[in-house]
Amino acid sequence: MKNDIPKVLKIAEVRDENPTVKTYVFRSYDLGAKPGQFVNLWMPRVDEKPFSVSYCDKDEFWLTIAAVGDFTRKLRDEFSVGDKLGVRGPYGKGYTIPEGKKIALLAGGYGAAPLYFVAQEAVKKGCTVEFIVGARNKDLLLYLDRIDQAEGMNLYIATDDGSSGEQGYNTQILERLIGDVDIVMTCGPEIMMRAAMDICDKAGKPIEVSIERYMKCGSGVCGNCCVDGLGVPVCTKGPVMLGSEARKIKGLAEFHRDNVGFKVVW
């Protein structure tokens, strides 16, 4: 039975992650999301926006959200425990988590949140996880303690300014580790993901990437998130796809499209 109407839930808990990012916890609702999937979050009279899921089990799920636009700043400033928001989804294809493999996760900035969900499921399936995070500076990193304290996950950090971990891009760490891993999963800026695809291609390792586009319906209907080259909506045929598939997107890491389909340079 097809039902795609927002379900209103109360915020059960709000956690500060870093100066701009908070995690919103919703409880007593079985969202049934897999790592890499996303939901649409409805704020009545304001807007509805897509957010990836950073944790989900039978009783609760988390959305980790940076206050960077009108919607997310309003969420940060005006919403707290007990307030109501509408949720629908989960939407899209998630990451394919294998059993007993060596996985490298490459997170750029906020990408650490959805990849933390991947890491948890991967460890449950007997995988070892090399968790590589990167950001412009230490204030933009998140989930470090959770990753560091988890069994089966090794944390690596790179920042552009060297304020945490090694100075430079996180992809240079991936380059060092690639020989020892079976598969790479990445989430972050498209230019970083493309660099990771190049590293994986060279090493002959598979990679899954998460393609972000302006989304409206989440159901593959409106066409706003269709990518050039492939011609498919990434809300249903992605957001997670194999690197070999993402290669067919024309303008990958070069442009995306706005709410009316206009090209915008990344």
**Interaction with other proteins in 18-57: which residues (CB under 8 A)?**
40, 42, 44-49
The answer to whether 93 contacts other proteins (rule: CB under 8 A) is: no
Nearer to other proteins, 178 or 215 (CB): 215
Whole-number Å distance between alpha carbons of 178 and 144:
21
Among 15, 73, 84, 202, binds other proteins (CB under 8 A): 84
Phi, psi of 153 (to 5 degrees): -120, 130
Asked, as a colleague might, if the bond just before 239 is cis with ω within 30 of 0, I would say yes
The answer to whether 247 contacts other proteins (rule: CB under 8 A) is: no
Tell me if residue 164 falls in helix, strand or coil: coil
| Six token digits for residue 144 | 């470090």
Phi, psi of 143 (to 5 degrees): 70, 15
Angle at which helices 170-177 and 190-203 cross, to 10°: 20
**Interaction with other proteins in 109-148: which residues (CB under 8 A)?**
none
Cβ 122 to other proteins, closest distance in Å?
Answer: 29
| Six token digits for residue 166 | 């090694």
Among 162, 229, 244, 266, binds other proteins (CB under 8 A): 229
**Interaction with other proteins in 2-21: which residues (CB under 8 A)?**
2-6, 8
Q: What is the contact surface with other proteins in residues (CB under 8 A)? A: 1-6, 8, 40, 42, 44-49, 84, 86, 88, 216-217, 219-224, 226-233, 236, 250, 257, 259-262
